[in-house]
C-alpha cells in the first residue's frame, strides 16, 4: 500500500525560495512525480525522479532519496502565478503502472 505525506499549506513571498517536502512508504516503487494544480484546472507535470539526487528544470528542482522515502520540490524566484497546489505522486508498478497521490500542498505566494 501507499502512504504519502506532505504539508497541507505553505506561504511564501514573491522572489523567495520555498521547499515542499514529501515522504512516502510504498512497494514496487517506480519513480516519484511532482504535479502543479491551479484551482479548477487539471494537474500538470512538473518533474520526475527515479534515481537519487537532484533534477533541475529552470526555477523548479526536485530531489529524491529512495532509502529515506523522501523527496522535495524546490521553487526559486517565486512568482505570484506559482500560487497553486503541488501534488507529490508515487508511481507503483505491480505488473502495471499506477500513480498514487498525496493530499497536495497549497502554496500561497504573497507580494
Partner 1 sequence: ETGVTQTPRHLVMGMTNKKSLKCEQHLGHNAMYWYKQSAKKPLELMFVYSLEERVENNSVPSRFSPECPNSSHLFLHLHTLQPEDSALYLCASSQEAQGGTEAFFGQGTRLTVV
Residue ranges in contact with partner 1 by CB under 8 A: 4, 30-31, 33, 41-45, 48, 50, 87, 89, 91, 93, 95-104
Residue nearer to partner 1 on the CB measure, 78 or 102: 102
Q: Taking the complex as a whole, how short is the minimal distance between the CB of residue 56 and partner 1, in angstroms?
A: 17
Q: Cell for 88?
A: 507529490
Q: Which letter does DSSP use for residue 80 in this model?
A: G
**Beta strands 105-110; 9-13: pairing state:** parallel
Q: Taking the complex as a whole, how short is the minimal distance between the CB of residue 13 and partner 1, in angstroms?
A: 25
User: What is the C-alpha to C-alpha distance for residues 13 and 15, in angstroms, rounded to an integer?
Assistant: 6
Q: Taking the complex as a whole, how short is the minimal distance between the CB of residue 95 and partner 1, in angstroms?
A: 8
Residue nearer to partner 1 on the CB measure, 53 or 96: 96
**Cβ–Cβ < 8 Å for 81, 36:** no
Q: Taking the complex as a whole, how short is the minimal distance between the CB of residue 98 and partner 1, in angstroms?
A: 5
Q: Cell for 15?
A: 522572489
Burial, 75: exposed, middle or buried (Cβ in 10 Å; 0-12, 13-18, 19+)?
buried
Residue nearer to partner 1 on the CB measure, 12 or 91: 91
Amino acid at each position: 500500500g501507499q502512504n504519502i505525506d506532505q504539508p497541507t499549506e505553505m506561504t511564501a513571498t514573491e522572489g523567495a525560495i520555498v521547499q515542499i517536502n514529501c515522504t512516502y512508504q510504498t512497494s514496487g516503487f517506480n519513480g516519484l512525480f511532482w504535479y502543479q494544480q491551479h484551482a479548477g484546472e487539471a494537474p500538470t507535470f512538473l518533474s520526475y525522479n527515479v534515481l537519487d539526487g537532484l533534477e533541475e528544470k529552470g526555477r523548479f528542482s526536485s530531489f529524491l532519496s529512495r532509502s529515506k522515502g523522501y523527496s522535495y520540490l524546490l521553487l526559486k524566484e517565486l512568482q505570484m502565478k506559482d500560487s497553486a497546489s503541488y501534488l507529490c505522486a508515487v508511481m507503483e508498478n505491480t505488473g502495471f503502472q499506477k500513480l498514487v497521490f498525496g493530499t497536495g500542498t497549497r502554496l500561497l505566494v504573497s507580494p
